[in-house]
Structure 1
Amino acid sequence: MRKTSFALALLTAAVLTACGGTDPRPGDQTPKTKFSQQVAFGDSLSDVGSYAVGGVAAQGGGQYTINGDITSVNPELTGKNFTAVLAAQLGLPAPCAAQTGLQGTSSTNPALNFSVPVVMNANCFNYAQGGARVTNPIGPGNRALSAANAPVVLGATTVPVVTQIANHLAKAGGKFSGTELVVVTAGGNDVLEQLGELSAGATAAGGVALITSLVTQLAPGIPAANGADIVKNAAGQAAAAAGSTPQTIIAAAIGAAARAGHPTAVANQATIGATAGTAATSAGLQYSADHSKDVVTALGTAGAELAVLVKTQIVAKGATYVVVNNLPDVSIAPSVLAQSADTQKLVATMVSTFNAQLKAGLGDDAKILYVDLATVSHDQAVNPAPYGLTNTKDTACVVSDVTKNPLSSSLVCTKNNLISGDVSHYMFADGVHPTPFEYALIARYILLQMSGKGWI
């Protein structure tokens, strides 16, 4: 298979870093710039252990990848994300989480205890957190999103990037020294939450249509004057019950109608149910069609907001070496590939809109390196072999069996809950997060871009 230019670039970066740096000058592999430290802001892609406490730590987890040093099995299973690889290649201290702690469920079972006091770590400068968004404080895993009485609540703090930067400025005396390497990566959780809100809205619209259809079909056959209320109340109570499904709601409505004297409710239940189900599906699809533009707009706003933060709160505060990674192509992730073609297309549009606004907002600034992870990640998915990837569609970690992975996430993925076979060159650990091998590819690509900019 013909190697793409991106793959060739990564292979070149691998050779150069193996020689001790990314500068191709003969006889001199000393980096042009000696960074004082690495400061990282962002989400789970950069998080080096914000939640490596309590039950997460008890299960050997803490990062969103295949956790733990398993290099004895395969040299690619390092347990490191790209910020750790960058730091090692640049001779910087291994990054550590600036904040640790969880606000979730307290449990006597150490593996399920997610209630751990939040601590700020003075000498750690990786502020990235799983679930973090650009400005919105409520991201995936946050306790505020948990269902009432949920048995397992992670309670991720999901401190947004805007607050992460403010926390660093407070720690650093209100400014950057100008000698740090600042790395910014965000946007993925804005996609996930907007998509989740769209789905919830569609489900709610479908639920209303389901009950309306049941009332319309059943109420006329009930002798009592309040037939509509009888059906609506029964369906509503079923809908509010834990574990409700369209089938249980339909059954409750038909049962109530039959008890109230409807002569053919039970006999016609198949037709009644099918009609109500069709109405619910149509309403959900219509809601999604009507509101898809809203989530795309929201992602554009988030991209523009991130650009403003980089310009006004990082560069304007003294940073001179700022790597801003755009949002990888989330539409090729396993969790999105499991959705409909329309959803995949919508996610791709959300990503491209975020990235377009981010790039436009950053402009042309010598202090900022804009790294296009979206294009290279898409190329990896459609042309994996030149990158050394063996699988770009499946997850290396078991995520569907809660007895093996109670969070259904790579956050607690270890050698104990990998799928069978060699997963060392898989692209994805779980439905959206990279394996250590993919993180290494990301780091190599960033290093190559840094070299091209003359920073190393």
Structure 2
Amino acid sequence: MRKTSFALALLTAAVLAACGGNGPRGGDQTPATKFSAQVTFGDSLSDVGTYAVGTVKALGGGKFTINGDNTTVNPEFTGKNWTEYVAAQLGLPAPCAAQTGLNGSAAAGFSVPVTFNTNCYNYAQGGSRVTAPIGPNNAAVNPTLGLTTVPVVTQIANHLAKSGGKFSGTEVVTVLAGGNDVLFQLGALQTAATAAGTAAGATAFATSLATQLAAGATNPATAAQSIGLAIQTEAARTGHTDTTIVQAAVGAAVQAGYTAAAQPAVYGPIVAKAQAAATAAGTTAGANYAAANGAAIVTALGTAGAELAALVKNQIIAKGANYVVVNALPDVAGTPSGKAQSADTQKLIAAAVDAFNTQLKNGIAGETKALYVDLYAISHDQVTNPAPYGLTNTTTPACGPNQLGTSSLVCTKSNVIAGDVSHYMFADEIHPTPFENSLIARYVLLQMSGKGWL
């Protein structure tokens, strides 16, 4: 029943949009609220062109979806994200990026001075987190691309500085963030787990190799020490490889009396056994590290959700905003990126998203000027039950290879995969297509209608 109700809700929203108002108000289709502007804070899901400069612009990109108005090719190829659809339905000007620019490589065309646009009120930036300034692809971690990733806390401060320290009370404010906190924390955990696995694997390889070679020497105990020292010395040398480490170990074994070890037929199986031991030890150590430290990610995302709720209350509503749409994080684990992870990692992502959404929802509970929109529930339902929404694919990204890998930032109709991708859910491994953005917008508008704002 729930799946059907979600799909029917979107259909209802589409009908209401076509009629220009909401059903409960009878024949009066005059909007309940006439908004003066749309002000947006968030990340790539709401970004309308922060990075549409330099090479990104030259490639026809700038938004994290299938870029470009190609409605003459397919009516769904609008190049719009959900904030643009909402603004159009509310009769507001098309959103424009409050800040543009890149801090990346000048040689690659990704170094463009940051510009602040006075009459633009979409502050959302790809890579932005809630309060942390360094997000995915920030110049500090990706100096080539160099995204600015201004966090939401600063985005709000920038708007208040522009607007005299307050909101007018007649604008609609949208907030959607937290996804990059998940991705950044998960990336850091995976990097650390890989390092732990690599270290454990190297130790296991050296131990197994030395033990096996020493067993054939004249004095195994003494040989084990000399072979171990040879391995340690070579491993510390700049430019060493697995091959040079094996050569050093075999040489030490020969000197210790195991002359047959010099033959590939002899040391080959020994090396293979050592490599197997290394793989097993590395896999176990990496998994153990992730399991032991995964809870910290859930805690961190709960903190981020609480921080975003506090910003909504103390820096948006308390500063005069009367209509604040606060979106939950969508189902990150259900994206192609999430599904590419192990089962344990998918559970970790789901737990982190739940912690964020729970703290966000609880943090704004009772705030009559805030509307909590459960994007998690509907996106999760779309992934598992796509047909009623008109979605034809919820597992494969529509964007093919491009100059930034497969990033939707420079995805256009010219580099999507073969076939009809107009009703795909995902443009790349995490970002929605224009069609999915239209579904998000419809759902947001429906919730606004239910709140009595439309």
For normalisation by structure 1, the TM-score amounts to: 0.91
Match of 2:220 in 1: none
Question: Any unmatched runs of 5+ in structure 2?
Answer: 215-222, 262-266
Query: How far did 1:39 drift?
Result: 0.4
Distance 1:286 1:307 in 2: 33
Match of 2:399 in 1: 397
Match of 1:138 in 2: 134
Matches within 5 A, 1:56-455: 56-107=56-107, 112-146=108-142, 153-219=144-210, 221=213, 227-235=227-235, 250-261=242-253, 263=258, 264=261, 265-398=267-400, 401=401, 404-455=402-453
The alignment status of 1:45 with 2:45, answered yes or no, reads yes
Query: How far did 1:277 drift?
Result: 1.2
Distance 1:180 1:236 in 2: 62
Q: Choose between structure 1 and 2: higher helix proportion.
A: 2
Letter of the aligned partner of 2:364 in structure 1?
Answer: L
Contact 2:3 2:381 in 1 (8 A): no
Distance 1:48 1:86 in 2: 13
Cα 1:296/1:20, change in 2 over 3 Å: same
Distance 1:117 1:256 in 2: 53
Distance 1:236 1:48 in 2: 49
Distance 1:435 1:408 in 2: 14
CA offset digits 1:106-155 (Å, max 9, x no partner): 22xxxx41111111111111000000000111111112113xxx7xx210
CA offset digits 1:406-455 (Å, max 9, x no partner): 34210000011100010010000000000000000000000000010111
CA offset digits 1:285-314 (Å, max 9, x no partner): 100110111111111111011001111110
Contact 1:44 1:132 in 2 (8 A): yes
Question: Any unmatched runs of 5+ in structure 1?
Answer: 242-247
Distance 1:433 1:234 in 2: 46
Contact 1:16 1:24 in 2 (8 A): no
For normalisation by structure 2, the TM-score amounts to: 0.92
Cα 1:270/1:218, change in 2 over 3 Å: closer
Match of 1:245 in 2: none
Matches within 5 A, 1:14-25: 14-22=14-22, 24-25=24-25
Matches within 5 A, 1:3-14: 4-14=4-14
Query: Residue 63 of structure 2 aligns to a residue in which SS?
Result: coil
Query: Residue 49 of structure 1 aligns to a residue in which SS?
Result: coil
Query: Residue 425 of structure 2 aligns to a residue in which SS?
Result: strand
CA offset digits 1:47-95 (Å, max 9, x no partner): 0000000111011000000000111111111000000001000000110
Query: How far did 1:280 drift?
Result: 0.7
Query: How far did 1:23 drift?
Result: 5.2
Query: Residue 91 of structure 2 aligns to a residue in which SS?
Result: coil
Contact 1:188 1:330 in 2 (8 A): yes
Cα 1:274/1:78, change in 2 over 3 Å: same
Percent identical = 64
Letter of the aligned partner of 1:103 in structure 2?
Answer: N
Distance 2:55 2:362 in 1: 42
Asked which structure has the greater CA Rg, the reply is 2
Query: Residue 282 of structure 1 aligns to a residue in which SS?
Result: helix
Distance 2:326 2:31 in 1: 20
Contact 1:23 1:31 in 2 (8 A): no
Query: How far did 1:226 drift?
Result: 5.7
Contact 1:131 1:158 in 2 (8 A): yes
Match of 2:218 in 1: none
Letter of the aligned partner of 1:385 in structure 2?
Answer: A
Query: How far did 1:250 drift?
Result: 3.8
Cα 1:450/1:2, change in 2 over 3 Å: closer
Cα 1:104/1:230, change in 2 over 3 Å: farther
Match of 1:244 in 2: none
Distance 1:366 1:375 in 2: 22
Distance 2:196 2:23 in 1: 57
| Paired positions, count | 435
